[in-house]
């Protein structure tokens, strides 16, 4: 890590920001890659936070081993509270939390006493009974808590991230992040740009993540459309020059059914002084989850069982 992180008094926040952290059904989690890029994915924080301690939290699955490995390798992360759909907050603010993550260990008491009651509020009551207890056993047992010690909270007056930001905690860096060396395989698109643009246009929420000047990920809400050399992305405050960046487009319904996710890593190029850049997608991944709650739970249970079997085979082979 090339930027020190503080261990002093915790960063605290006001009631409006606490309302956002408590109420949002989903947030964009950004973490760093070994090549100094950033990946952004959606998580359900279910309001997990400790205001007095200056900590926000979320849970994730051991099935996402690469994400956890990267967070352990460089624990600087960001959470973008960017959407009010189907949540409880009435605020219009876009809230970006940057901090240092620590990945916990499996804890049945934490899952039973803290996560399950909170998840019920956001995701509905868990299915119970002999079948569901067996089918979802790996899904719930496979989850682990991630605590983020807040270093900085930046918030804007609207969900587009426009206007004068308010900053709590560490001051923002004085300068934009320096441009990065281009990848050895070139900076141009490596996936179908027209298809990527079409899929991103079909979802309402789009986030762009990159490594900031102090090493913490930055996540901004962007407009996206097809361009001649890649995807055209627009947002205030894009850093000039070229750099690795992650792009996420997603949608969801009440209780997080009907999830749609379109995720990319790639190269961002921005002219000095411009609020628009060219994003060349290098990788793409995504999924569309069932809009039916029962089908969604059946799919989640199956994937969790498959991941556990895969991890056990890998451990036995190693």
Q: pLDDT tens digit string along 118-167?
A: 989 998 888 888 888 788 777 776 788 999 999 999 999 999 999 999 99
Write down the mean pLDDT value for the chain: 91
Percent with pLDDT over 90 in the chain:
68
Per-residue pLDDT of 243-286, as tens digits, reads 999 999 999 999 888 889 999 999 999 999 888 999 999 999 99
Q: Give me the architecture of the 15-317 domain, per CATH.
A: Roll (2.30)
> Are 244 and 35 spatial neighbours (Cβ–Cβ below 8 Å)?
yes
* Rounded Cα gap, residues 268 and 265, in angstroms: 10
Question: Which residues touch 134 (CB under 8 Å, ≥6 apart)?
Answer: none
Closest CA to 80 of 8, 1, 148: 148
- Residue 64 — pLDDT band, cuts 50, 70, 90? low
Token reading at 261: 């996710």
Per-residue tokens: 245: 């960046």
Q: So what's the pLDDT on residue 287? A: 87
Mean pLDDT throughout 303-309? 73
**By three-state DSSP, how is residue 129 classified?**
coil
Place of tokens 């901090």: 99
From residue 155, how far is each of 21, 66, 89, 184, 204 by CA, in Å?
Answer: 12, 29, 15, 36, 20
Confidence of residue 4 (pLDDT cuts 50, 70, 90): very low
Q: Hey, which residues does 40 pair with through a beta bridge? A: 30
Q: Are the C-beta atoms of 161 and 221 separated by less than 8 Å?
A: yes
Task: Give the per-residue pLDDT at 318.
Answer: 61
**Residue 251 in contact with residue 291, Cβ under 8 Å?**
no
How far apart CA 236 and CA 96 sit, in angstroms, is 15
Pairwise pLDDT comparison (222 vs 114), residue with the higher score:
222
């Amino acid at each position: 890590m090339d930027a020190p992180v503080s261990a002093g008094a915790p960063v605290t926040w006001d009631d409006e920001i606490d309302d956002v952290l408590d109420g949002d059904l989903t947030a964009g989690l950004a973490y760093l890659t070994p090549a100094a890029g950033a990946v952004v994915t959606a998580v359900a924080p279910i309001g997990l936070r400790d205001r007095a301690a200056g900590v926000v939290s979320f849970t994730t699955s051991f099935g996402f081993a690469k994400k956890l490995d990267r967070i352990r390798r460089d624990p600087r992360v960001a959470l973008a509270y960017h959407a009010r759909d189907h949540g409880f907050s009435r605020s219009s603010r876009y809230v970006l939390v940057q901090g240092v993550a620590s990945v916990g260990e499996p804890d049945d008491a934490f899952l039973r006493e803290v996560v399950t009651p909170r998840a019920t509020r956001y995701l509905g009551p868990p299915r119970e009974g002999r079948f569901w207890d067996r089918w979802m056993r790996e899904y719930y047992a496979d989850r682990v808590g991630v605590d983020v010690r807040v270093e900085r909270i930046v918030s804007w007056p609207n969900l587009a991230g426009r206007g004068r930001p308010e900053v709590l905690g560490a001051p923002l860096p004085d300068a934009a992040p320096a441009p990065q060396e281009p990848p050895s395989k070139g900076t141009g698109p490596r996936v179908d740009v027209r298809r990527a643009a079409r899929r991103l246009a079909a979802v309402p929420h789009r986030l762009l993540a990159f490594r900031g000047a102090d090493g913490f990920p930055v996540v901004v809400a962007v407009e996206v459309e097809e361009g001649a050399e890649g995807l055209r992305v627009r947002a205030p405050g894009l850093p000039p020059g070229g750099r690795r960046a992650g792009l996420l487009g997603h949608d969801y319904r009440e209780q997080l059914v009907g999830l749609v996710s379109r995720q990319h890593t790639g190269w961002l190029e921005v002219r000095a002084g411009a609020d628009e850049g060219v994003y060349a997608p290098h990788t793409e991944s995504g999924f569309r989850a069932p809009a039916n709650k029962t089908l969604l739970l059946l799919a989640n249970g199956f994937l969790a069982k498959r991941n556990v079997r895969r991890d056990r085979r890998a451990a036995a082979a190693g």
